[in-house]
Amino acid sequence: MQRQEIIRTLKFLGWIALVLLIVGLLIAAAKRKDVERTKSVNVKIQALPNGENLITQGDVFELLDKSFGYSLDGLRHSEVNVERIERILKNYPFVKGANAFIDAENIVQIDIQQRVPVLRIIDKMEVSYYFDEVGQRLPLSKNYTARVLIATGNIPPYVPDFKEREEHTLNHIYDLGQKVIANPFLWSLVEQIYVNNRIEYILIPKLGNQKILLGKYEEIEDKLENLEIFYKNAIATKGWRIYKTIDLRYDGQVVGVK
């Protein structure tokens, strides 16, 4: 009986010693990390689907130096606020996501995911900007001009809540752009969306001098479906150059004007 109690006591003391050892090692490691200094900063930017970048490594270093007021090289680990780095970068308009950490080699690693522009707006005041895939507004980049679908004409100035306004022109343009991009046929066909002074929507193809009149933004899915059918049937047999205008403004009708 006494022997069993001694064994249990020794086991208990052994566990306590192990816990104290682990705690001591963690404290020692934390102290060692606290005095170790960063060697460098490495920025990795996930390229856009076409391999280009709206933001460069130089832009990142400039932004961080300006925000912190000093370089992150040679700092103690405790002086490198990775949460602040991520917060600063995520507030940058071209950045969708950012992850920062210090690796085992004492290098500050920063991984950046860019926003992807899908639609360029040039409004009636000639202010130009992009929308990404979720409708986030992006400024033009000094590094790269994205070749995307363009919308021009009588487009009102940007308002942050445009997607919540059902009848807002920007909401219609964004929705139409999404429909064009999601449809492989329309994406290969359409280069530009134009809004005239009557707030009617016109599609400009990539080839030729045709105009595709959609009219008011109503029954838009039916109009686009009719357009695709028309192109795949009438134009496929007669050639796309034969028509100057394709008119879908009237319910259920497609009128080709030579």
pLDDT for 23 beyond 70: no
Domain ranges of the chain: 40-114, 117-257
Which of the residue ranges 101-105, 180-184, 215-219 would you say has the lowest mean pLDDT? 101-105
Residue 173 CA to residue 195 CA, distance in Å, equals: 9
Residue 248 CA to residue 227 CA, distance in Å, equals: 8
User: 255-257 and 245-247: which strand pairing?
Assistant: antiparallel
40-114, CATH topology level: Ubiquitin-like (UB roll) (3.10.20)
Residue 213 CA to residue 194 CA, distance in Å, equals: 10
Across 4-13, average pLDDT? 63
The pLDDT mean for the chain works out to 86
> Which tens digits make up the pLDDT trace of 121-177?
999 999 999 999 999 999 999 999 999 999 999 999 999 999 999 999 999 999 999
Q: What pLDDT sits at residue 25? A: 53
Percent of the chain with pLDDT over 90: 56
Residue 184, both tokens: 């492989």
117-257, CATH topology level: Rossmann fold (3.40.50)
Q: Residue 201: CB partners within 8 Å, gap ≥ 6?
A: 172, 176, 193, 194, 195, 214, 215, 216, 217
pLDDT for 190 beyond 90: yes
From the CB of residue 200, how many other CB atoms can be counted at a distance below 10 Å?
A: 16
Percent of the chain with pLDDT over 70: 83
Same fold, 40-114 and 117-257: no
Q: What is the pTM of this model?
A: 0.79
